[in-house]
Chain A
Amino acid sequence: MKKTGTVCNLLMFLFIVCLLTGCWDKEELEDKAYVIGLGIDHSNHKGQIKVTLLLANPEVGSMQGGGGSTEKPREIITFDANDFIAAKGTANAIISRNISYELLKIIVVSEEYAKGSGFLTTVSDVQKDKEIRLDGHLAVSKENASEFFLKNRPKMETRPHKYFQYMINHGIENGLIPDSTLFRFFNTTYRETELYLAMYVSAEKNKHPKVQREDEYMAGQVNATGELDDTQFMGAAVFRNGVMIGKLNGQETRIVNILDDTTNIKDILIDLPDPFSNKKKQISARILKTKSNKVKMNVKSARLKIDITVPLKIEIMSNPSMVDFAEKKNQHIVKRQIINHLKKVNEKFFKKTQTKLKGVPYPLSMYARRYFGTIQEYKKFNWRKSYVNADIRVHPNIQIIDYGKQTKSLKR
């Protein structure tokens, strides 16, 4: 009797196991077509969107020697659809394999569509689809997303997934574009206290680009010539409540990235005004951020007061006025200069967010929460409103770890 009992239990167990699974959707991996980039544009038909799919061909570039095929590395299709989930089915009229979003790296939205009200509902479908991973990135393109993908012809990376992976990773490390994952998008949009930054991209070069300082460009404005791909990733598009409201250039994006402790920046190369010359010369320096910011707030006073201490390590890389940094005096001057410059730039940026953007583009409100006992109190405090009128001071805490290679000045 005991034995039959165990056998019954085992059978029950097996049966329950089968019920519990969601694994009946077995599919061989070569039967799928992997979408690397997804473009969303405004459609002329009412209630529809224009979906662009960038599909990677697995056969190209995957084999080491021998058996290389003459096929194209990618396929791009654009069509009208109700949403991009159902678009998978429609696309199968054109694409031979099953469309899969499992490798989706980047969702590109045209600036025009991002500024409209339909964007949030469209992009919310991401959460409904099991295949899309929330560590994919969101980007806003100056032109239509379909044009962006078509014009983007990388010269060195034939395989599209590799191109986007490198472009995004290194862009974030340099601080020129924000780490705009889909996860962050939904997070900030639901929290409603701050702004979301999406990376700003363009595959179209401006006709008459202005020459500016090193990082004060937007995508498409960098004047580069030669044998190259015109695609540029630079700057950020600002979203409030899921609608695009403005743009930040490369420099401003960097400021946000330095201030934001949740972004992993590696080290950033910037230009600083040279204190030893009056001819507008620039020192180039490398900024390293190894410690987190210290934020102090005074929420009790009539006007919100925020003090942010930013600990930075700086390596000076160039020395245009040939100053001898071995002298303590010069070291002091340069340090003072950097502190003043960073303070000025940061506070100017905060001013801009308060007046123009009316919100902070990184999760600063998290620091405010700790001053309240309950969520109700915090809600009553109304961070958004208080922030706009807040008195923000930035205190860069600089440590210069290297003054660069010291060379003897040349006498002319």
Chain B
Amino acid sequence: MKKRIVKTLFKKFNTEPQFQEQSNTKDIERKKQDISSNYDQNIQTFKSMFSVPKNTDIKVREFTIRALNRRAFIIFISTMVDVQRIQESIVEPLLENELTTGKIRDIVSFPIESTATIIGEITEFITGGMTALFIDGDNQCHLFETTNIPGRSIEKSDNEVIVKGAKEAFNERVIDNIALLRKKIKNENLIVESQVISKRSRNDVFLVYQKDLANDELLQTIIDKLTSLDTDRILDLSILEQYLEERPWSLFPTILYTERPDRAASFIEEGHIVILMSNSPSCLILPATFWSLMHSPEDHYLRVPYGNFIRLLRLLAFIVAVFSSSFYIAITNYHVGMIPPDLLMAFAGTRERVPFPSIIEIFMMELAFELIREAGLRVPSPIGPTIGIVGALILGQAAVQANIISPIVIIVIALSGLSSFIISDLSMNFAVRITRLLLILSAGFLGVYGLTAFCMAILFYLVSIKSFGTPYFAPMTPHFFSSKDLIVRHLPIKERFRPGYLKPKDMVKQRKE
């Protein structure tokens, strides 16, 4: 009852604003029609649609096909196509060929050709970099995939650096990205399914999965979710990530975002689904669990003992990053008896001259650390590292000498800050840093008790999150059949199963003889 009132009130104050907009129903209507067989009408339609003289890089070239003795024109966007190839394999044969077979297919030597009739469809292809050929008296249009978009070449991975293993990273050209995946999985069952997700800028999304592994239900949910998106534009994969997530406000990420094709390929082979998008140098992996966010590809590239060593180190770093500053607050403010006498005396001796309560001290230092970190990112690269080190050192040293901060706090913050860098996933990294601040608050409020209570609440929450139907801590809790690649990993020979929470069509990687 109360809620209904609140809801109606909310609606009253939050009405959709009305704007004066221009209607484009005429355009939409026109796009649904077929092209006519009349040459002049067609050229008129497309010229007005692409506002030709005004729009400088739309090129229309009229000519006569010698073989058929009919008028024709091609239309393309010169900045997105390979003009040289159009010249060599489309225009020249059409102009010069004298055979009268009557079939365009036999005249044009361009390898990829298709036909279309609906105006809207044709415009889409043209904007995608294709070349359209209209012939007088023909009621269909020929399309050639002449796309050639300039972009970065394949480079080293910048944000997920590893020492051992493949170094190449995704770039902004989705064709390259797909090629990088195909290169790793040479199997005809690897499906690259494309879908247009936004209405105005018509951004392409590619779903990549293994047909004989990925669960159909999971695939269908993702496809449904993608088709249900009702928006003008989604420019980047990282924005799509926010559209796809079940809980966009959640502190913890539920989709894995990576720029490493080797990582994506290994997930595809487990039965995950990967989303690629043009103009995004990365991919999304769904569903993602806590473990996949914590792991690094290097864990598997290194030999088992070394791989497990860095895994345990990362887990330790995770715990240190989350708890060290809040634990310091809790024990120094409430549970002094827990500290060994020598250390306690040292703490008390150095804290004596500091005017602020220790929680303020910690917050000041956390803020300073985050500032240095963020500033270090934004500073132009040649002076970046120096600024970072100088800032940290001088700030720390001077703050201690000015009796604003006690040296212990600097150790605590430096330790937790350093540890947080070990978690390579950017979203997880943010999650850890923000959780840390909340934990400091709760520890300052209620000591170790508050710390534990809040930590429990976080655990409750984490256990309840799902990523496309997969519980966050699967396969540990709830338990699923898997090759137990969680806190420690096993020998590659022993990792015989695909993760059970994905319900893959093929569960066993290698059967026992």
Query: Residues on A close to B: CB < 8 A?
Result: 1, 3-4, 13, 17-18, 20-23, 25-30, 32, 34, 56, 58-63, 100, 102-103, 105, 131, 133, 159, 161-162, 165
Contact = CB atoms under 8 A, between A and B. Distances in A.
Interface string B326-340: 000000111011010
A35 to B, nearest CB: 12
B341 A62 contact: no
Contacts of B347: 29-30, 58
Contacts of B348: 29-30, 32, 34, 58-59, 62
Interface in B352-406: 352, 354, 357-358
A318 B351 CA distance: 52
Contacts of B339: 29
A133 B334 contact: no
Q: DSSP class of A's interface residues: helix, strand, loop or mixed? A: loop
A162 B351 contact: no
Given A30-B348, A63-B349, A162-B342, A100 B446 contact: no
Nearest to A13: B457
Contact of A30 (B337, B342, B352, B457): B352
Contacts of B346: 58, 62-63
Interface stretch (B60-68, B420-428, B447-455, B502-510): B447-455
B55 to A, nearest CB: 51
Contacts of B109: none
Contact of B449 (A23, A30, A56): A23
B3 interface: yes
B349 A62 contact: yes
A261 B21 CA distance: 92
A21 B345 contact: no
A28 B341 contact: no
Given A29-B348, A59-B352, A103-B341, A21 B449 contact: yes
Nearest to B407: A63
Interface in B68-112: none
Contacts of A103: 337, 341, 344
A105 B345 CA distance: 14
Residue with the highest number of chain A CB atoms closer than 10 Å, among B334, B345, B446, B453: B345
A18 B447 CA distance: 11
Which 10 pairs from chain A and chain B are nearest by CB? A62-B349, A58-B348, A30-B351, A23-B447, A58-B349, A62-B346, A58-B345, A102-B337, A59-B349, A161-B341
B345 A62 contact: yes
Interface string B434-464: 0000000000101101100100010000000
B225 to A, nearest CB: 23
Contacts of A62: 342, 345-346, 348-350
Given A34-B344, A34-B345, 16 more contacts: A3-B3, A4-B2, A17-B446, A17-B453, A21-B446, A28-B333, A28-B351, A29-B332, A30-B352, A32-B348, A59-B352, A62-B342, A63-B350, A102-B337, A159-B345, A162-B342
Given A1-B3, A58-B345, A62-B350, A131 B358 contact: no
26 contacts: A4-B2, A13-B457, A17-B446, A17-B450, A21-B447, A23-B334, A23-B449, A25-B334, A26-B333, A27-B334, A28-B332, A29-B347, A30-B348, A30-B351, A30-B354, A32-B348, A58-B344, A58-B345, A58-B348, A58-B349, A61-B345, A63-B346, A103-B341, A159-B345, A161-B342, A162-B341
Contacts of B350: 62-63
Nearest to B447: A23
Nearest to B357: A28
A18 B336 CA distance: 21
B415 to A, nearest CB: 19
B273 to A, nearest CB: 31
Contacts of A105: 341
Contacts of B334: 23, 25-27
A102 B345 contact: no
A140 to B, nearest CB: 23
Contacts of B341: 34, 103, 105, 161-162, 165
A27 B453 contact: no
Nearest to A18: B446
A235 B141 CA distance: 109
A29 B446 contact: no
Contacts of B446: 17-18, 21, 23
